[in-house]
């Protein structure tokens, strides 16, 4: 359970009076009372939310590739069938793919049927930004949905030559093969000069599956921010790699119930958290622990950045081994 925070604002006439701070305090207290141990948001201004304990928990990738330079290494040719579907069919098919990807990807949130129909697949004119309608393509392999793409085309002609592009708004596959075939379809849409996309996972396999990865113009920017509302339950809610233990000294001025020394012990991937009395191995602010929570950044990186203090030799490495994830955290949608 997580609090999804969005559309936070203060009237221009009421700025610099502490109103935002009061609102955020009430919101975090409310989330804690509901049993939501973490809160997440997309920050329009990064600096603001760090004041309230949010840490940068993920980054997103962007691509802008010439369509005629998009190819695959060791390509064995296309498999499966890709077809376009209407909204009614998309609401029935796409969630099964999304949910299977979300099972192994930190940072993805559950979507209800209402969310799919009235938000993700909703296509009002003001969302098109001058492009065409939102198209919905489903990849089927052996008759089973294994991937999909949501995209729109931006047509433009210059001297009889099409200089438009396909904008991929969301695309994913349940495995490496399906992911490749979904992007094969997107790269194959005719009369487009380029293919663009953003909100991609930072470890997207396209970087390693194309003979000219530079052509992707792959760039990364910060996206998803996370706040540990209730530290103990939050750490016990996630899984860990293997066995081990580490003790944190945590500073949290905004939510003082999180401040203090905490011992994390992981056995067979399951974590147990207790308040500790012994010497801590790592000293950090709550924003630093939030930054490592989903696995986007390591404790060692934060030590090198001067944000986390390693008080015991090897503590950062032990924490890194526990918090490591097989896939980089990814939130595919702004909410």
Residue with tokens 């928990």: 57
- Strand 194-200 and strand 270-275: the pairing is unpaired
Question: Quick check: is 323 catalytic?
Answer: no
Q: Respond yes or no: is residue 49 known to be catalytic.
A: yes
SS (H, E, C) 76-103: CCCCCEEEECCHHHHHHHHHHHHHHHHC
**In contact, 298 and 270? CB cutoff 8 Å:** no
The answer to whether the CB of 29 falls within 8 A of the CB of 39 is no
H helical segments located in the chain: 19-33, 46-50, 87-102, 113-115, 125-128, 176-187, 206-209, 231-237, 286-293, 299-304, 315-323
Q: Which of 49, 54, 151, 165 is catalytic?
A: 49
At 169, is the secondary structure helix, strand, or coil?
strand
Residue 130 CB contacts under 8 Å (≥ 6 apart), including other chains: 154
CA triplet 169, 170, 172: central angle to 5 degrees? 155
**What DSSP line would sit under 198-223, residue for residue?**
EEE-TT-THHHHSS-GGGG--EEEE-
- What 3-state DSSP class applies to 52? coil
- Which of 154, 254, 327, 335 is an active site residue? 335
Is the distance from CB of 121 to CB of 127 less than 8 angstroms?
A: no
The DSSP result for 176-201, as a single string, is: HHHHHHHHHHHHT-SS-SEEEEEEE-
Which active-site residues does the annotation give? 49, 335
């Amino acid at each position: 359970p997580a609090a999804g925070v969005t559309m936070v604002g203060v009237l221009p006439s009421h700025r610099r009076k502490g109103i935002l701070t009061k609102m955020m305090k009430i919101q975090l207290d409310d989330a804690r009372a509901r049993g939501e141990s973490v809160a997440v948001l997309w920050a329009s201004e990064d600096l603001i939310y760090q004041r309230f304990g949010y840490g940068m928990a993920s980054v997103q990738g962007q691509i802008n590739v010439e369509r005629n330079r998009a190819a695959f290494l060791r390509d064995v040719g296309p498999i499966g069938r890709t077809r376009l579907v209407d909204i009614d069919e998309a609401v029935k098919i796409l969630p099964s793919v999304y949910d299977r990807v979300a099972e192994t990807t930190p940072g993805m949130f559950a979507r209800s049927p209402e969310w799919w129909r009235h938000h993700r697949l909703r296509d009002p004119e003001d969302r098109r930004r001058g492009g065409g309608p939102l198209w919905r393509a489903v990849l089927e392999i052996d008759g089973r949905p294994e991937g999909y793409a949501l995209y729109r085309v931006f047509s433009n002609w210059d001297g009889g030559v099409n200089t438009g592009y396909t904008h991929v708004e969301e695309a994913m596959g349940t495995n490496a093969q399906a992911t490749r075939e979904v992007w094969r379809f997107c790269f194959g849409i005719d009369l487009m000069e380029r293919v663009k996309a953003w909100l991609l996972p930072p470890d997207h396999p396209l970087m390693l599956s194309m003979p000219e990865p530079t052509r992707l113009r792959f760039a990364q920017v910060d996206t998803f921010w996370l706040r540990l509302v209730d530290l103990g339950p939050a750490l016990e809610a996630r899984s860990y790699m293997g066995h081990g233990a580490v003790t944190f000294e945590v500073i949290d001025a905004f939510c003082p119930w999180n401040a203090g020394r905490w011992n994390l012990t992981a056995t067979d991937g399951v974590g147990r958290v207790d308040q500790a009395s012994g010497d801590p191995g790592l000293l950090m602010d709550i924003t630093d622990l939030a930054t490592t929570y989903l696995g986007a950044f390591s404790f060692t990186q934060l030590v090198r950045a001067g944000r986390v203090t390693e008080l015991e030799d090897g503590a950062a490495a032990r924490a890194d081994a526990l918090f490591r994830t097989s896939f980089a955290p990814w939130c595919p949608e702004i909410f």
